[in-house]
Structure 1
Amino acid sequence: MPLPGATRAVDRAIADRRIAGAVVLVSRDGELVHEQAAGMADLESQTPMTPTTVFRLASVTKPVTAVATMHLVEQGALDLTSPITHWLPDFRPTLADGSEPDVTVDHLLTHTAGLAYRKAEPPGSDYDRLEVSDGLDRTDLTLAENLARIGRTTLRALPGTEFRYSLAYDVLGALIAAATGTTLQRAFHELISEPLRLHSLGFSVGERTPVATAYSDGLIPITDEPIPNGINVSRYSPERIFDPTQWPSGGTGAAAHAHDIRSILDTVALGGGTLLRSSTVAEMYAGRISQELTPTVRESFGRGWAVTSPDTSPLLGLPVHAVHWGGVYGHSWSIDPATRTVVVALTNTTPEGMAGAFPTDVARAAHVDLAEGRLD
């Protein structure tokens, strides 16, 4: 029973050639109320999108990493306030003055650890000189080797004082592996996939897996060539997901189809289920650090996601206090805790599918459809 407004928003974006294709799911109280697979997974072969098309998740990996981290906190394998050197003794980045402040799990979860992304730093920064991987490129590095490089960078701020979107979730991935004594892939499987019976979530896929081709705006296929981003360059390798030797990025490296992402977010929306206690979910929803999007627009960031503010609600088409984030390959998702509504919108076109009109159009239409009881 599709939502008519949401359906039109997706169809319009495809007709306007703003996106190649999309899978959009909307649920309320754990019940699927909208499923739409539209457009093309691959334009050259005219392969249509299907509900089980797999996407490179990019930063949609981050809420999965956050849930796995908080599950380990509940078990006592991690804690939020101890220095992470308890589990990663060699990870000791310093401030510009040479001092070595403590970095905690909570700093990593809220992007207040003082770390950065290489692509967001000016050319020639220490991230460039150390050739740190942002988790989207294809390299010969291991997780441990990239962690060591991150650990040799200079912290951009005293931990706990400033929101800075960063490689913090890649450090969390290493932390999860250390705390569980296994690989991050195996930890995701045991902590997330097995309890929820997920089938597609992983850090690599087989060559025959139906993976959506990645496009940039203008429906141009993304290649391994660096893409200027106005500050530095973004380094992508769409083929990375087919190579099981690539290091598992807890910030950007996983793949899955939309229904597996919806299952994880539904579990959170319904109070945590087999993954988390309801009290833990409530703590994850709370905004803990303010982030300035423009001089006049602010919202908060919680443990794993942004928290919609009165400033950003009309811009995002989401209720105040909804949590949300995106993925640089062209994705968006949200949870409205008040109505337990989940919207998952995965596309294969960036940046439109993540930061263009598309995610706002879909989210706004879905919430209006539900509020007015519109079901086709």
Structure 2
Amino acid sequence: MSTDFSDVALAARIDTLLDLVLREQRLVGAVVLVRHRGCEMYRRAAGYLDREAGKLMRDDALFRLASVSKPIVSAAALALVGQGRLQLDDPVAQWLPYFQPRQADGRLAAITVHQLLTHTAGLDYGFFQPPGGPYAQAGVSDGMDASRVSLQDNLRRLAGVPLAFAPGQRWAYSIATDVLGGVIEQAAGLPLVQAVRQLVTAPLGMHDTDFVAVDHARLAVAYADCVAGQPQPRRLHDSGDDHLPFLDGMAGFTLSPARALDAAAYASGGAGMVGSAPDFMRLLETLRLGGAPLLPPGLASEMGRSHTGEMALPFWPGRGFGLGFTVLTDPLLAGTAESAGSWRMGGTYGHSWFVDPLRELSVVAFTNTAIEGMAGPFVEQLCRAVYGEDLA
């Protein structure tokens, strides 16, 4: 397929979509960036940073990244691998002796760093479990609530819950990146906040990205999707916990937007970072171009290769999982115009992104509207607009 990525044609397609979703009040605000062959082809801040205050979105807005944290923290782990300070086949218990969860039959489980990165460790997320499920009973935080638990205490609680399956047996999106954060602390000899800064964000000049917002004035207000009877997305509670339903039978998300301003909240490697779209684009382009100065080319290539073989990824047909994000294996099954080998992920607070290495294309879409910006129709519509497909 020949796609017109010229700045005029691309801008017209994405502008049309953004104008539509804002008019329909599916999103409150968004920042969308597109780079092709290393050149910026599109940049727009649209809608509101803070609707109630009348503050317009800005392209350097800060967003609660949720799972967009995972590629950043995974890159930090791989930077340690590249330096010879950590190995992919290291047992997690080598670094975290207290983290030795058992399987359902009571046997100890041997989890590796590789299994944490690929989400094949047998772990789960509380929001995928039924209300009052095992993680809730154990007081395990998903890394997005107002819990005052420390990282080590959270991992100790997690280690006390039987695994959902034997490590390496199958794939499940999970809190594994939080465990990886604990490993990084030990391997780097630094708190996770400092380790990620030293290994990833400082070398790339990602000065807007940290575990707390670096500038309160630029932090986008968080909103939740419209529901029946509401004329527009509602503002999430500014303090304490808020609840966001996800799928039937699941507990859903417990979110504390104020966590982005709380330096005492534990550093969640899977969901706890705050950053800007330009910063994250810098990381994606670094990885697409081979990883320097963070990683040697071989490790960057491994990060973007599927490591899950024939394992099915629930919610992501036609995709496998690399070392921190999904990798497209079957475009037809996935129903997408992306090239095989493309990387993609999102974040609960309303984000999506993808990289198409074959077409030398990187796209970042950060919004402040959950969960439309992560898993709603907007995500597919944006992809189709980028590739020049009919939006109908």
Report the TM range for the smaller structure's normalisation: over 0.9
Please state if 1:346 is matched with 2:362: no
Tell me which moved more, 340-349 or 224-233.
224-233
1:309 maps to which of 329, 346, 364: 329
2:243 maps to which of 215, 218, 226: 226
Deviation at 1:360, TM superposition (A): 1.4
Please state if 1:363 is matched with 2:389: no
Report percent identity of matched pairs: 37
Contact 1:215 1:348 in 2 (8 A): yes
Deviation at 1:317, TM superposition (A): 4.3
Please state if 1:144 is matched with 2:152: yes
Q: Which residue of the partner structure matches residue 198 of structure 1?
A: 206
Cα distance between partner residues in 2 of 1:321 and 1:353: 23
Cα distance between partner residues in 1 of 2:77 and 2:183: 9
1:284 maps to which of 291, 303, 306: 303
For 1:276-312, what per-residue CA distance to the aligned partner results, in whole angstroms no more than 9, with x for missing partners?
Answer: 1111121112112132436x94421111111123256
Note the residue ranges of structure 1 that are not aligned, 5 or more in a row: 370-376
Cα distance between partner residues in 2 of 1:338 and 1:207: 36
Contact 2:220 2:368 in 1 (8 A): yes
2:15 maps to which of 7, 26, 46: 7
For 1:175-234, what per-residue CA distance to the aligned partner results, in whole angstroms no more than 9, with x for missing partners?
Answer: 111111111110111111221112111011256331111111121112223233321132
Q: Which residue of the partner structure matches residue 374 of structure 1?
A: none
For 1:142-185, what per-residue CA distance to the aligned partner results, in whole angstroms no more than 9, with x for missing partners?
Answer: 11111111111111111011101110000011111111111111
Cα distance between partner residues in 1 of 2:283 and 2:299: 15
Cα distance between partner residues in 2 of 1:297 and 1:264: 26
Deviation at 1:268, TM superposition (A): 0.5
Cα distance 1:127–1:41, how it changes in 2: closer, same or farther (>3 A)?
same
SS of the counterpart of 1:116? coil
Aligned ranges 1:1-376 → 2 under 5 Å: 1=7, 3=10, 4-205=12-213, 208-218=216-226, 219-223=233-237, 224-229=241-246, 230=248, 231-289=250-308, 290-293=311-314, 297-311=317-331, 315-368=335-388
Amino acid paired to 1:233: G
Tell me which moved more, 138-147 or 311-320.
311-320
Contact 2:318 2:328 in 1 (8 A): no
Cα distance between partner residues in 2 of 1:47 and 1:6: 22
Cα distance between partner residues in 2 of 1:31 and 1:313: 30
Q: What TM-score do you get using the length of structure 2 for normalisation?
A: 0.90
For 1:113-159, what per-residue CA distance to the aligned partner results, in whole angstroms no more than 9, with x for missing partners?
Answer: 00011111123332111110000001111111111111111111110
Amino acid paired to 1:301: F
Cα distance between partner residues in 1 of 2:170 and 2:384: 30
Cα RMSD (Å): 1.7
Deviation at 1:364, TM superposition (A): 2.1
Amino acid paired to 1:323: W
Q: Which residue of the partner structure matches residue 372 of structure 1?
A: none
Note the residue ranges of structure 2 that are not aligned, 5 or more in a row: 1-6, 227-232
Cα distance 1:221–1:280, how it changes in 2: closer, same or farther (>3 A)?
same
Cα distance 1:348–1:315, how it changes in 2: closer, same or farther (>3 A)?
farther
